[in-house]
Every structure is written in structure tokens, then in C-alpha cells.
Amino acid sequence: MTTEFTVRDAFFDFCRRAGMTTVYGNPGSTELRMFRDFPDDFSYVLALQETVAVAAAAGHALGTGNAALVSLHSAGGVGHSLGAVFNAHRDRVPVVIIAGQQSRAMLPTRPFLGADEPALFPRPYVKWSRQTERGEDVPAALAEAYRVAMTPPCGPVFLSVPEDDWDRPAEPVPHRAVRTGFAPEPAALREVADALNGAANPVIVVGPGVEDEGALPLVVELAEKAGAPVWISPLSGRSGFPEDHRLFQGFLPPVRDQLAARLEGHDVVLVLGAPVFTYHVHSEGPFIPDGAKLFHFDCDPAQTAWAPVGTSVLTTIDAGVSGLLDLVDKADRPAPEPRAALARPGAADPMDPAFVIEALRDHLPADAVIVEECPSHRDLFHARLPITRSGGFLTTGSGALGWGLPVAVGRAVAGAGERVVCVIGDGSIMYSVQALWTAAQQNVPMTVLVLNNRGYGAVKALGRRIEMDTVPGTDIPGIDFVTLAKGLGVPGRTVSAAADLDAALAEGMAHDGPFILDVSVVPDDSPAYEPWAR
């Protein structure tokens, strides 16, 4: 065996210096040389399917604020993972994806497992993608990929490595830093500040970029200084504003006319770190109320380019809001009317999902991190379980199911012992149920609460919107989630009676390691139900 410094040595040396010492993956033949003499200070977290590997790595990244490393197996493994890659891209999560490839000498013969055009395969849902021309260039490409992943807007990157590259001689990658924050031009800040100062009734819309860039305290200060109520953007993957604050108004719907109606009466709209806007179904009408001016702060040139209305300012949120705070006058506007308190549903069997969420709120540890993937109940979940601290909530803003459970596992692996609570639909969990096995092997502090309505409730609701009385393929009866989880190493309880819920939640939160609760809830079959309705 050679003793010279190799591509493998340089690769792990860079990962060590970048803080990427946990590898999520599912191994195969084209990755074996990568893991020869695997370093003792690295850990490998095995996922049983590549979607789980990428999403768990994303959860790890969201927990640490640093890019996470994931290893995929050749073309097939990359193909399996693409739903999670799509989510990571849309949700701006920095994941460094390394994919195995057959040896360079074999590539002209289109070998078994080989990727014909590996750099094109995951596009356009990665920020950067490459297979180097020479093996010795792999470490420098890795360093470039990491820097791209961590530059706002963050996101996944992809590097394909032929298996014989790992043993080639290489040089260490020199250390260098990239300072990624950037501020808007002063004239742009002045324009926005003047608009806020002259507004009769301004409003702020926050998106996931606020939390991703650590700007939540500054945004709270700006809202209070301007006296502006705050909404969270449609289908946001984070919270972005304390939901118990007196200025918080709720969540904008992903429907154009409904969204504009929520903003009616506001003459200046300031959007921070969010698309303008994300819609789920088509509707006519203005994007914002007639006569209102919209200003948009975001770090992504693509977002600022396609926004259909208003004036976009290219900036990281921290820098942009800091600049505004120096220019915005202290306003003396009355606070908005408090949001109406919601009555707590009574106990009934099967249970109202709102009853379950209220009970969950009673049992949550103070430092719990909530991961949500229950499309049928997302809005009632937010209405009844306010997120009050930065980092306390994760979901997907892109909509590809199978993200929540493995994200919760990765977030728990990256944590410091705080309880991670994954609230998930019975349809959603089956897209990546293998993540339970990884949770059991890692013995993570995680409680999985399945809101089991025995079907795809959100799809049924969308069908009713277009006057479909029945939607084929939306009923999913007959799954025993507790037995399934037990087979993967996770204990749990089935809860079909409201009288048993409190005891089950107490057990689930106190359990040493992962625990699943399969809770039967009323199906959302009401003709008036819409998953974004408030």
C-alpha cells in the first residue's frame, strides 16, 4: 500500500478543517476506495435509502449551520436521492454530495453502474456540479464545492469521483476563507427607508432567509421600530419571527388572490428572505393590493430577477436589515389587533387533529425542535403551536414528501440532546420510513407523532377545489405504523382514544431514544376544508 499523500488523504484533511466529519450515506462498490483506512475522527451514519441520506445530512446542516457531507452510490443512488436534493435546493440547505463513479479507464465502455453525464444528472437542483478531468484535482474541486454550498444563497453541490481517483497522489488544499456577507447599495437602502418612514400602514413579510442568515433579532427590532405587523411567507421552511409577538399576524396563503386580500390596507410591503411569492394553485387578481409598493430583500440574484412585482434589493438579510435600522425612524403606530384566540376542541374519538396539536403543545419540552411534514394539517398546526425561538422549527418549503422524518433524524444527530419532535402525516412517513432504522441505530432523542387520517388529505382537498368528489389513489388504510417501526428498532404506541393521548405523549417525550406515536385523527373530508385555510 502506498504511503504517499493521496486524493483520499487530501479529501478527508479538507473535510476535517471544514468541520464535515460526519458522513451520511448508503455505500456501494464505487465508494469502497473512498473509505479505505476510514479516519477514526470521522463517523459514518448509514441510511437505508439515498433519499434518507441526503435529507438526514440536510437536517444535520440545519442543526449546525455548516454544510454536511453525504456519499451516494453511483448513478442509481443519485437517482434515488433527487427528491431530497430538490428540497435541499429549494430550501437553501448546504449539502456536499459525493457520488461514486466507475474507474476512468472503464468509462468509454458505458460500464455497469456508470453515470454517462454525471455532472448533468442532478441539475438544475444543485448550485455546482462537476466530475474533474484529473483525479488529482478532486481535493481542490471539493474545496470549491464547499465554498459554493456555503455562499448565500446556500444549497447543495455535487461532485462525482471515479473510484480509482482516491488512490492517486495529491497535494493538500491550502486553507483560505470566503467572507460571504454583502450589503445593498446605500441609495437602495435610502429608498426603502424613505418608503417605510412615509408609509401610513407598512407590513413586513418574512421568509426562511431571516432564520437561515441569523437575522431574526434584527428583524424583530425593525418591525418594532417601524410599527409594522409581520406575516410569514407562504409555505416557508422556517419560522422567521416569534409567533407569540404582538406584531405577528400569521401565515400568508399560497393563493394569489387570498394573499393579496391578507395584505389589503397596507401601502408598503417589505419582503425579507422569501420568494415573491410561492403559490400552490392558480388564481387571478393582483399580486399585492392595488396601489401598494413592494420592496424585496434577498441574497439570491435568481429570486430577485423573477419576482413579478416591486423593487428587489440584492443583499444578505443581516446586512440589509442592519442598514435599514440606521435609517428608519421610530414610528408611533398602534399595534394591530391581537389574533383571535382559538377555542380548544373537546375530546372525541376519532380525535380532531387540533385536539392532538393542543395536547402536544402541553407536553413539549422547552428546548424541543419541531420538524413538521403534515400537509393536511399544516395551517392548524401553526395556528395552535406557535414557534417562539430561532431554530425551533423545520419543515420543507418545496413540497416533495419524504423530507421531514430523515431531516428530524439528522437534526437529532447534530443536536446536544434536545428532543426533536417530528409531526408527520401517515402518507408522508411512508416516503422515507427507513429513516426510523437510522434513528434507532443512532439512538437519537426523537419522538415521531403520526397524524393518521388514513389518506392523502391535502390531495383530496385540492381535488374538491376543482369540484372532484372523489380522487383515486388517496386512501391508504391498513398500515400498522407501530409494528412497522418496531421492525426497524423503534418502539411506540397506537393511540385511538382521546383518553389515552396525554399518557402516550408523556411516554413518548420521556423515552430514551426514538419513539413513535400512531394517533388516529378524523379524516379531512369536509367540503369546506382547504389545507391553507385559516
pLDDT in tens, 479-501: 999 999 999 999 999 999 999 99
Contacts of residue 239, Cβ cutoff 8 Å, sequence gap at least 6 = 211, 232, 387, 390, 392, 393
Q: Using one digit for the tens of pLDDT, what is the confidence trace for 85-104?
A: 999 999 999 999 999 988 88
Output the pLDDT for position 280: 85
**Cell numbers of 145, please?**
464545492
Q: Using one digit for the tens of pLDDT, what is the confidence trace for 198-214?
A: 999 999 999 999 999 99
Give 80's Cβ-side CA count (13 Å radius).
Answer: 21
Output the pLDDT for position 525: 60
Domains along the sequence of the chain with CATH: 7-167 (3.40.50.970), 186-325 (3.40.50.1220), 353-520 (3.40.50.970)
Output the pLDDT for position 355: 96
φ/ψ bin of 72: left (φ > 0), alpha (ψ from -120 to 50), beta (otherwise): beta
Output the pLDDT for position 169: 96
Contacts of residue 75, Cβ cutoff 8 Å, sequence gap at least 6 = 99, 113, 114, 115, 116, 118, 121
Q: Using one digit for the tens of pLDDT, what is the confidence trace for 359-375?
A: 999 999 999 999 999 98
The DSSP call for residue 287 is: S
Q: Which residues of the chain have pLDDT under 50?
A: 1-2, 526-534
CA 257 from centroid of its chain's CA atoms:
26
3-class DSSP assignment, residue 237: coil
What residues are annotated to the active site?
28-29, 31, 50, 73, 280, 399
The pLDDT mean for the chain works out to 92
Place of cell 435509502: 49
Output the pLDDT for position 524: 66
Rounded Cα gap, residues 396 and 423, in angstroms = 13
Alpha helices by DSSP H, 93-137: none
Contacts of residue 39, Cβ cutoff 8 Å, sequence gap at least 6 = 12, 16
